[in-house]
Amino acid sequence: MSFPKDPYDVLNLPRQPPPTHTDVKKAFRQLALQYHPDLNTTPEAAKKYEQIRLAADRLLNKSTHTPIQAARHSWAAHYNVTRHPRFPLYFCGASLVAGCFIFAGAIHIHQDLYTSNIHQEAEKRRQNPTERQRQIMEMLQEQQQQASHWQDKHKQQEPP
């Protein structure tokens, strides 16, 4: 169905002053009673009624659309663009995958920072031990010497 070029002419409304919402509705009702297919059985009535309906829709919805929305609508109508029915599914899937990659990257960076920090802290502790750490290290060295002395003693007692 081709859209009429001027909805004001179809509804017999003046351009200036711009018609109000109620003026458009009133003109639509008058013409609808005259050309509605249930009331008028002539073959041109259905086509004329459709033009009247489209013109009224265009004028009534004009105030709710911003110029950007109107441009998008006219572009989509001109090029007959429709969205793929699975577009939301593809969009959600792509967003989920991208989110996982971003999360994995953040974990990897955090892990690198955390492990390098642990190694730095361990090196600092080795170079500058506290008093308690020195006591523990001395105790461990004594136990290690005792264990090696015990092993040497038992190796000497074994017959060849």
> What is the average pLDDT across 54-62?
82
pLDDT tens-digit profile of 82-100?
666 777 777 788 888 888 8
Q: Which domains does the chain have, with CATH numbers?
A: 7-79 (1.10.287.110), 98-151 (no CATH)
* C-alpha torsion angle, residues 13, 16, 21, 23 (rounded to 10): -40
Report pTM. Answer: 0.39
For residue 1, pLDDT beyond 50: no
**78: nearest Cα among 68, 86, 70:** 70
